[in-house]
Amino acid sequence: MKTIFDSTIIRSVSLKNRIFRSATWMGMAGANGCVTDAIVDVYREYARGQVGGIITGFTSVSPCDGELPGAMRFTGDEHISGHRRITEAIHAEGSRVFLQAAMLDTYVPDASGHGGLKIVNDLTHDDMRSIVDTYANAAARAEKAGYDGLQIHAAHFFGLSRCISPLYNQRQDEYGGSAEGRGRILVEIHDAIRQSVGKHFAVIIKINCSDFIEGGLTERDFLVVCEMLSHAGIDAIEVSGNYTSRTNVRAGVGEAYFKEAALRLKSRVPTPVILVGGLRSIETINGLIGEEGIDYVSLSRPLICEPNLVARWLAGDTRPSRCVSCNSCYHTPNHQCVTRLHDKDA
Ligand SMILES: Cc1cc2nc3c(=O)[nH]c(=O)nc-3n(C[C@H](O)[C@H](O)[C@H](O)COP(=O)(O)O)c2cc1C
């Protein structure tokens, strides 16, 4: 039977347990999205806390992308040395690290080289090609910086999740018209990344299982797109959804809120499935992995609250996460946990 503390391998990336830190924007980057000492320290703390796989926060990979305040950028070779500090700090503690490659929206370059926002319906085939190239170039840089893999961010109504959502994509050409058409850009991105990196580098994706909005991406669309990605050879799929950080969740109450979609995906594809969203107790996680067949779980707010949570569980203190899912961490400086801040003040 699978257990939470199994050592596993995704592609060639060895992981010491089945727990990921889900991508979490920390708002701590410096000018032009550069990596700061504070960012390196936080990632080191997660790795010392025994998180097996760490996915960085939202990192803009397009030079003409909009700005998410304090989010990292990885848009040129000048960013490689900063990102190398992150990968070296995490590797020194025996964990693995994936770059979350994101675009705030569908920003594309124009003739001046700067570019701007175009809605999905207006993207030309050259624009599509430039988005694909942007991801392939980012992956090559990520590999140079020492990342073990890259996560394509296609969730939460940021750039690529708009391309697959019928709410934003009403195109009738080969990039629209059906779930297969809307999903094409993700497969092209996956394939271009694979061409630009070595065979050991893992390519994973975070994707909405539903937009949970009338007229948006449905679970059926999600399954179709994931089957296409699985067929293309994606290395793992992290199942998320809109309304991603739900409140009123605690141990035994409302946990694992994207579980049903993840299990239906699991029954259709051989690709490893990572489940995120409201996981707060080791009992729930053990049930998902040991009995229900989920391959990996991913945590965001519980690790903001307790960076050493996994080490605590490993040491035998299996009390649930102290996170009460209040979402204050979205609004505090550097997205810190208010419970933790109170503890420090006490
Ligand atoms: C402060 C904060 C920042 C987040 N930033 C990102 C991000 O950069 N990329 C992303 O895909 N999800 C982001 N998320 C969503 C989480 O990765 C996760 O999907 C969600 O919070 C549900 O998991 P949880 O219940 O373990 O927190 C963020 C969540 C929080 C609370």
pLDDT, tens digit (0-9, with 9 covering 90-100), for 263-302: 999 999 999 999 999 999 999 999 999 999 999 999 999 9
Check pocket membership of 64 for ligand 1, CB cut-off 6 A: no
Q: Whose CA is nearest to atom 1 of ligand 1?
A: 330
Q: Which atom of ligand 1 is nearest to the CA of 276?
A: 23
In sign, the C-alpha dihedral spanning 297, 73, 197, 173 is positive
Classify residue 73 as exposed, middle or buried by CB count within 10 Å of its CB (0-12, 13-18, 19+): buried
Q: What is the mean pLDDT of residues 206-226?
A: 98
Q: Which residue has the tokens 């890259």?
A: 150
In this prediction, residue 208 has a pLDDT band, given cuts at 50, 70 and 90, of very high
CA of 145 to the centre of ligand 1 (A): 24
pLDDT, tens digit (0-9, with 9 covering 90-100), for 124-143: 999 999 999 999 999 999 99
Q: What is the mean pLDDT of residues 220-248?
A: 98
Q: Which atom of ligand 1 is nearest to the CA of 299?
A: 26
The answer to whether 251 and 281 have CB atoms below 8 angstroms apart is yes
The answer to whether 63 and 75 have CB atoms below 8 angstroms apart is yes
Q: Whose CA is nearest to atom 10 of ligand 1?
A: 23
CA of 34 to the centre of ligand 1 (A): 20
- Best residue for ligand 1 mutational test, from 21, 25, 337 (most atoms within 8 Å of Cβ): 25
pLDDT at residue 340 in the model: 83
Distant-in-sequence, close-in-space partners of 341: CB < 8 Å, separation ≥ 6: 332
CA of 187 to the centre of ligand 1 (A): 24
Q: Percentage of residues in the chain with pLDDT exceeding 70?
A: 99
The chain-wide mean pLDDT, for the chain, equals 96
In this prediction, residue 343 has a pLDDT band, given cuts at 50, 70 and 90, of confident
CA of 24 to the centre of ligand 1 (A): 5
Q: What is the mean pLDDT of residues 40-62?
A: 98
pLDDT at 111 over 80: no
Helix residue ranges, H only, the chain? 37-48, 80-92, 125-144, 159-163, 179-196, 219-232, 259-266, 282-286, 301-305, 309-314, 338-345
Check pocket membership of 151 for ligand 1, CB cut-off 6 A: no
Q: Percentage of residues in the chain with pLDDT exceeding 90?
A: 93
What's phi and psi for 59, nearest 5 deg? Answer: -125, 115
CA of 177 to the centre of ligand 1 (A): 30
In this prediction, residue 110 has a pLDDT band, given cuts at 50, 70 and 90, of confident
Q: Whose CA is nearest to atom 28 of ligand 1?
A: 24
Q: What is the mean pLDDT of residues 219-227?
A: 98
Q: Which atom of ligand 1 is nearest to the CA of 302?
A: 26
Q: Which atom of ligand 1 is nearest to the CA of 249?
A: 25
Q: Where are the domains of the chain?
A: 8-345
pLDDT at residue 112 in the model: 75
The answer to whether 36 and 48 have CB atoms below 8 angstroms apart is no
Q: What is the mean pLDDT of residues 72-81?
A: 97
The answer to whether 15 and 7 have CB atoms below 8 angstroms apart is yes
pLDDT at residue 160 in the model: 97
pLDDT, tens digit (0-9, with 9 covering 90-100), for 325-335: 999 999 999 99
In which region does residue 325 sit, left (phi positive, over 0), alpha (psi from -120 to 50) or beta (all else)? left
Q: What is the mean pLDDT of residues 161-165?
A: 98
Q: What is the mean pLDDT of residues 186-209?
A: 98
Fold of 8-345: TIM Barrel (3.20.20)
pLDDT at 339 over 90: no
- Best residue for ligand 1 mutational test, from 300, 306, 330 (most atoms within 8 Å of Cβ): 300
Of 141, 138, 53, 79, residue with least CA distance to 103: 138
CA of 168 to the centre of ligand 1 (A): 22
CA of 27 to the centre of ligand 1 (A): 12
In the beta sheet, which residues pair with residue 72? 59
Check pocket membership of 302 for ligand 1, CB cut-off 6 A: yes
pLDDT at 346 over 70: no
Give first-to-last CA distance, the chain, whole Å: 43
Residue type, 249: V
Classify residue 101 as exposed, middle or buried by CB count within 10 Å of its CB (0-12, 13-18, 19+): buried
pLDDT at 109 over 90: no
Global confidence as pTM: 0.98
